[in-house]
Amino acid sequence: MTPTTPNRRTFLRSSAVAGGALLVPAGLAATASAAVPQFAHGVASGDPLPDRVLLWTRVTPAPEATPGSGLGPTVEVRWEVARDPAFADVVAAGSVTTGPQRDHTVKVDAAGLAPGTAYHYRFLLDGVASASGRTRTAPATGADVAGLKLGLVSCSNWQAGYFSSYRHLAARPDLDGVLHVGDYLYEYPVGGYGARGVTIRPHVPAHEMLTLADYRQRHALYKTDPDLSALHAAVPWFITWDDHEYANDTWSDGAENHQPNEGPWAARKAAARQAYFEWMPVRQGPNGEIYRRFRWGRLAELSLLDLRSYRSKQTTPSQGDPNDPARTITGDPQMAWLKSGLSTDAQWKLVGNSVMVTPISLSNIESRFLEALGELLGLPVGSVAANADAWDGYTADRQELLGHLKDNRIANTVFLTGDIHTSWGADVPLERSSYWWNGNSAAVEFVTPSVTSDNIDDILGVAPRTVSPVAEAALAARNWHLKYVELDSHGYAVVDVNPSRVQVDWFFLADRLSPTSGVRHAKSLATLSGTQKIR
């Protein structure tokens, strides 16, 4: 199905590793090539705590047990965690059963581990071992930690290119984990959303995801990608969702890309959630919530937000007021949870945030860029008001959050964001209109580009870096708090945290359409401890 209304999705058509052959850390080649048929979707780990970590895989115990089929036997799978890659020193092990009721996925919370320790893990079915993965536990809560380094990724659209960003991150020996802030997969049918309108790799199933079987099959497809498989096997992931894990521009009771003839929204939402929790190495809260928090010693605490499940419907120029105090992007319980977490004694308060918190004015942008930026940011064509799909469309919640930081003198809050397919670095001002003269900033925000999804040069149908610099200069001139914007490139970022600063390095792909794309280091920005500003 092709959506019927314009939106940013339907309109959108140093240590860098130069690409050639598939590059993965030693011992992970089998995982990257998915060489074990019983474990064709690889292995993954996530949500590390000081004494445990989630381990994930999917088994295929019989030919008919294909993803989403609801067929195949219930089987017993063994898991092992060891200190060494040969599994001579196994420190934790056990068995679990899985079957068609959970699409033959396996998710184990491996407990009793030592804090701040690297481990190897694997699964066994009928004596056949999966490829092994590497993971690590978080440091003890009170530990003095020298650093934390995370890959930051978002918007990985299978149909729009290849996941070379994942390959380059998997080749790095220095990462503690990966933070994926949403749009891990996309719901569209074949041809529904590609690279400048061209489908590079067709989706399975060929139609738009609507049912539980559809969502299971699409998750399975993405996990056959060798670069994604390699990165899952290399390090633990911290993951939250945005909208395309359900449907474009999701809100609490619906989505732009859900039509009445597609059945009840509640049924589609339940199917998407069930498949997600089956196929992803993430924990669910006691009431099914996905917002959750992780501590990295005294150095950092990472809060992962869910800004789709609880939000009010997005405003339009003719309907709804973004300043209405009744409107919410977080919901009251999550806002209270977030504010309490930001009062932690950890030095850095990192927030995994799916959509931009920074206010952006587009009022001096010429029309062609305004139209393209409007679509990319979720604005109605021609509007110069607010970014209705991000925190700009929910200003009461943003003021409550930033006011909490100001009133409680909370320093060192860093928002790590995706969604808009482009690269941004900004101070987060208490008031955008007064920042130009008082410079008051409550936090900083760093936005990673898309892994593959279309951005501004793709929207305009021009060569990269030929016209977008004009729009970038106009944005910077109107928004003094904006310290960096790049609207064309695809890639990823690396977040490097130590006691004195958080630095973000952007890496841009040479060609998202090439499965062997190289990458280059493009930009570095940092915020120093205690400043709430980008240097």
**Residue 433 and residue 417: Cα distance in Å, rounded?**
23
pLDDT of residue 1: 36
Q: Tell me the DSSP string of 12-59.
A: --------SS----TT-HHHHTT--GGGTT-EEEEEEETTEEEEEEE-
Question: H or E segment at 505?
Answer: strand 501-509
29: exposed, middle or buried (C-beta count within 10 Å: 0-12, 13-18, 19+)?
middle
Task: State the pLDDT at residue 15.
Answer: 26
pLDDT of 30: 35
In DSSP terms, 108 is beta-bridged to 55
Q: Is 480 helix (H, G, I), strand (E, B) or coil?
A: coil
Does the structure show a pLDDT above 90 at 194? yes
Sign (positive/negative) of CA torsion 69, 74, 76, 79?
Answer: positive
Q: Region 450-464: what's the mean pLDDT? A: 95
Q: What's residue 364's pLDDT? A: 74
- Count the residues in the chain: 535
Edge to edge, the sheet with strand 43-49 lists 105-110, 52-58, 43-49, 237-239, 177-180, 148-153, 491-498, 501-509, 519-528
Tell me how far the alpha carbon of residue 6 is from its chain's centroid.
24
pLDDT digit string, tens, across residues 305-335: 999 999 999 988 778 899 999 999 999 999 9
> How is residue 333 annotated by DSSP?
H
What residue has token string 């995706």? 418
pLDDT in tens, 108-144: 999 999 999 999 999 999 999 999 999 999 999 999 9
Cα 400 to its chain centre, rounded Å, is: 25
Crossing angle of helices 265-279 and 212-222, in 10° steps, is 40
Backbone angles phi, psi at 52, to 5 degrees: -165, 165
Tell me what pLDDT residue 316 has.
81
- In angstroms, rounded to a whole number, what is the distance separating the alpha carbons of residues 531 and 499? 13
In 144-303, where does DSSP find H-type helix?
164-170, 212-222, 226-234, 265-279
Q: Are 74 and 97 in contact (CB under 8 A)?
A: yes
- What is the predicted pLDDT for the residue at 9? 34
- When the pLDDT of each residue in the chain is averaged and rounded to a whole number, the result is 91
CB atoms within 10 A of CB 142: 10
pLDDT for 493? 98
The model's confidence at residue 515, banded by pLDDT at 50, 70 and 90, is: very high
Q: Bigger pLDDT: 2 or 304?
A: 304
Question: Phi and psi of 497, rounded to 5°?
Answer: -110, 130
Residue 372 confidence (pLDDT): 82
Assess whether pLDDT exceeds 60 at residue 21.
no
Least confident residue range of 105-119, 235-249, 369-383? 369-383
Confidence at residue 487, expressed as pLDDT on a 0 to 100 scale: 96
pLDDT bin (cut points 50, 70, 90) of residue 433 is confident
The whole-number pLDDT of residue 383 equals 47
Tell me the β-bridge partners of 350. 302, 414
For the record, the structure tokens of 244 come out as 């395309």
H helix or E strand, kind and range, residue 494 = strand 491-498
Closest-CA residue to 512 (of 198, 220, 130, 214): 198
User: Euclidean distance between the first and final Cα of the chain, in Å?
Assistant: 45
Q: Which of 9-18, 281-290, 364-373 has the lowest mean pLDDT?
A: 9-18
Burial (Cβ within 10 Å: 0-12, 13-18, ≥19) of residue 139: buried
- Whether pTM exceeds 0.85: yes
Which residues pair with residue 415 across a beta bridge? 351, 445
**Is a pLDDT exceeding 50 seen at residue 406?**
yes
Q: Which residue has the higher pLDDT, 2 or 508?
A: 508
**pLDDT tens-digit series, residues 142-152:** 999 999 999 99
Q: H or E element: which one contains 159?
A: none
> Residues 280-297: what's their mean pLDDT?
96
What would the two tokens of residue 345 be? 């004694």
Whether 38 has a pLDDT exceeding 60, the answer reads yes
Report the pLDDT value the prediction gives residue 380, as an integer from 0 to 100: 52
Higher-confidence position of 12 and 360:
360
Query: Would the pLDDT of 68 be above 60?
Result: yes
